Amino acid sequence: MGVSSPFIERLNDSVLVADGGMGTLLHEKGISFGTSFDLLCLDNEELVKSIHCDYISAGIDVLETNSFGANAIRLKNYNAEDKTELVNRQAARIARAARDEMGRELFVAGAIGPTGRRAIQIDHPMYDEMFDAFRRQVEGLLEGGVDLFILETFSDVKELKIAIEVIRSISKLPIVAQATFSFDGLTNLGHSPAEAVAMLEECQVEMIGANCSVGPQPLIDVIHEMSQCTDRPLAAMPNAGLPRYIEGRYLYYTSPEYFAASAVEFIKHGVRLIGGCCGTTPEHIKKLVEVVRAGGVFKEKTTFQPLYAVSVPEEKPSHAPIGETSFRNKLGKELVISVEVDPPRGSNPQKILKGARYLAELGVDAINVADSPMGRARMGALAAAVMIFQATGKETILHLTCRDQNMMGLQSSLLGGNALGIRNILAVTGDPPSGDYPNVTAVYDVDAIGLLQIIKSLNSGRGITGAKIGYPTDILAGAAINLTSDDDSTEIERLIKKIDSGAQYFMTQPIFDVDTLKRFQDKTASMELTLVMGVLPLHSLRHALFLNNEVPGIDIPDSIIARIEKAGKKAHEAGIEIATEISEAGREHVAGLYYMPSFGRYETIGAVLKQIGLTTTP
């Protein structure tokens, strides 16, 4: 470890609070995502300083410089690599000026992010380029007068180690080294928190931690695993949940109160530096400071339960599926049952095929195949849908998002899927990318309404340009609908546009209060909607809190959360009971039930279907 410093001495006595997101606030103030936020240190110093001052007013102990992407490799994208040292020097000076202006004693941390190079490109020549890019950034920050370094949002631990090596070659200042993890608790290269810690233990760093990509609940799992493998103090800086893409903007909905409450669990697991990342604001950090300063954060909690515990039935039922019935022919005439599966992160489909066979033997009518949900890279949904169809003979409902393909690509996928027997499409705009790759961008040539129009055109025998394509496609087009939207008028307006664009059925977000469904149906009674109601079985209090506070579009009543909390260790059973009750109460009002098993818990759906008598399996 490095030599002692005032920062380390403070860590020994107390938990320190860092600031929150910079890019989110810059974007809110009108700065485009296509702009280099780092170059604003030269072009709009006062704007950057004003945000620093807002965070200082919130009561922070550590202020990060606006230099996350200010390395020569990233700045080259803006023809500004020759300004690397200048940008970083100025970033540090602006942060120090804000500290002086506010009259607060706090630490200025030099923020350093990844270069954006893909890990597979890191060979010897790339190593030299990365080393030099980080060296120039570090030298600039040192000239500006930083007190420590915070390395953050690294999805490749090897690249993180290069940055550490650079700092240690020219400085003895403290280093906080943070990797970023996806919702499955792994880095983009598949490293677990324990593996990341093992790789970083070899380095001379004062703190190890995790930031970005996910909200508080999933990051608690990561920190918990880290705490089992190291005695070093830990750092945690989660996002404010998942963003929603609305009218060209990424909006975060996790409240400051909920975000701050996570501090208790983080500190319990050894976190001594806590802050925020994407989507967090001075309000989030102010609440965080209040919780940390209030004390009592070391009180004993209940036994730790990972949010992402997975249980898949070891043996499939031996009963044969019901006779093949077309989802389209049954929809609107009899109650249909569909269940969602997520394609794997890797190339091995055996787990989802096993789950699909189990669902087919339960007698479900269709299997929904999600398209990289939550903006995380997975096996292509079309490929997964075809494999499921071939392995089970069961119809699939392919979720097709507008995030990853332009209009031409969407048309190609629709034509290919139609030829391969994938005739049911759920058109969705898609969650924005969430950090699997440093430079990933969303396409969004069209949204769900535009995609429905493409499907309608293909079904009429014409492509997106109006040119004839020969034989028309035969696609049953569906769309998603959010019954808990804060803005009913906008949701209904989009609903009408989706109907006009060709939507023939609608699948809802998870419903936890059937009265919500009835109220929405009353408002849309004249539309004669074909609704398939979403049902998501809860399996723990953490799961319920995560969904309610960090996932846009899901609203769980306090009574349901209280019921799950009261169930304690039997929360999973309570979740099945609640899902069963919702299914029973809602089945008379909808055309179908759409189940979303969390983390591959297909047996949970089996339990619900058995209780309501909608499975062929005894």
Q: pLDDT tens digits for 404-423?
A: 899 999 999 999 999 999 99
Q: Count other C-beta atoms under 10 Å from residue 305's C-beta.
A: 14
Strands in 148-154's sheet, in edge-to-edge order, are: 16-17, 271-274, 234-237, 207-211, 175-179, 148-154, 107-112, 62-64
Burial of 344 (0-12, 13-18, 19+ CB in 10 A): middle
CA distance 402 to 442: 8
For the purposes of burial, counting CB atoms within 10 Å of the CB of 510, is it exposed (0-12), middle (13-18) or buried (19 or more)?
buried
Domain ranges across the chain: 6-114+121-294, 327-537+577-611
pLDDT of residue 225: 96
Backbone dihedral region for residue 375 (phi beyond 0: left; psi -120 to 50: alpha; all else: beta)? left
Q: Tell me the residue type at 16.
A: L
Cβ-contact 44, 271 below 8 angstroms:
no
d(C-alpha 176, C-alpha 18), whole Å: 12
Radius of gyration of the chain (CA): 25
pLDDT for 468: 79
3-state secondary structure string, 222-261? Answer: HHHHHHCCCCCCEEEECCCCCEEEECCEEEECCCHHHHHH
- Please tell me the pTM assigned to this model: 0.76
Which CATH number does the domain 327-537+577-611 belong to among 3.40.190.10, 3.30.300.30, 3.20.20.220, 3.10.310.10? 3.20.20.220
Q: For residue 311, what pLDDT is reported?
A: 39
β strands within 13-172, DSSP E: 16-17, 62-64, 107-112, 148-154
Closest to 290 (Cα-Cα) out of 254, 255, 261, 269? 261
- Dig out the tokens for 195 from the structure: 């593996």
Per CATH, is 6-114+121-294 categorized as 3.20.20.330? Answer: yes
Residue 431 pLDDT: 79
* Residue 329, phi then psi, degrees to nearest 5: -70, -30
Distance of CA 201 to the CA centre of its chain: 28
Q: Which residue has the tokens 């810059």?
A: 26
327-537+577-611 has the same fold as 6-114+121-294: yes
The reported pLDDT for the residue numbered 19 is: 98
Q: Which residues pair with 236 in a beta bridge?
A: 210, 274
Residues 6 or more apart in contact with residue 363 via CB below 8 angstroms: 321, 322, 337, 609, 614, 615, 616, 617
Q: Which regions of the chain are under pLDDT 70? A: 1-4, 118-125, 245-250, 296-325, 374-375, 434-439, 618
Query: What's the full length of the chain, in residues?
Result: 618
pLDDT in the model for residue 314: 38
| DSSP per position, 546-607 | HHHHHSTT----HHHHHHHHHHGGGHHHHHHHHHHHHHHHHTTTSSEEEE--GGG-HHHHHH
What confidence score (pLDDT) does residue 141 get? 98
The pLDDT value given to residue 301: 38
Q: Kindly give the pairing relationship between strand 249-252 and strand 243-246.
A: antiparallel
